[in-house]
Amino acid sequence: MSWRHYSTERSSAAPGAEAQSEENSGRAGQAPWRVLNIGAGQPMHLGRFIDLLEEALGRRAHRDCVPMQPGDLPATWADVSALERLTGFRPMIPPEIGIPRFVEWYRSYHQDDKAE
């Protein structure tokens, strides 16, 4: 599996984002670029996210569960509404597929680093 395969959704969003950027270029008060979230667009418990990472990595994480700390958010997720509004694109790969794909890509990409 390649990064290209994993990043299919991200690259699918790019043409619409580029067109939107060109459309806004030069408008007063409008930056010629946007930062857009590209994610599942659904909340996920941190514990579930760690479970998926553990499964993909084939090893257990050391979990030190402590009470909420100042600055912690009770819930957070990628709001993809601007991406969809500006480009017509909505990501469809769920974390259960995307996380293992990312781990596989990362290991493949950094394979040479282990030899050093």
**Alpha-carbon gap, residue 47 to 56, rounded angstroms:** 14
Domain boundaries, the chain: 3-24+33-61+75-115
CA atoms within 13 A of residue 48's CA, in its CB half-sphere: 7
Residues of the chain above pLDDT 70, percent:
72
At residue 37, the pLDDT reads 82
Q: Is 0.85 topped by the overall pTM? A: no
Q: Report pLDDT digits (tens) over 22-78.
A: 555 556 677 778 888 888 888 888 899 999 999 999 999 999 999 999 999 888 888
∠ Cα 5 84 102 (to 5°):
25
For residue 84 the two structure tokens come to: 């969809």
> Pseudo-torsion of CA 53, 55, 57, 58, nearest 10°?
150
Where residue 111 falls among pLDDT bands split at 50, 70, 90? confident
Q: Which residue has the tokens 């990312």?
A: 102
Q: Which residue has the tokens 């030190």?
A: 64
The answer to whether 77 and 39 are in contact (CB under 8 A) is yes
**Alpha-carbon gap, residue 115 to 110, rounded angstroms:** 10
The residue with greater pLDDT, 79 or 114, is: 79
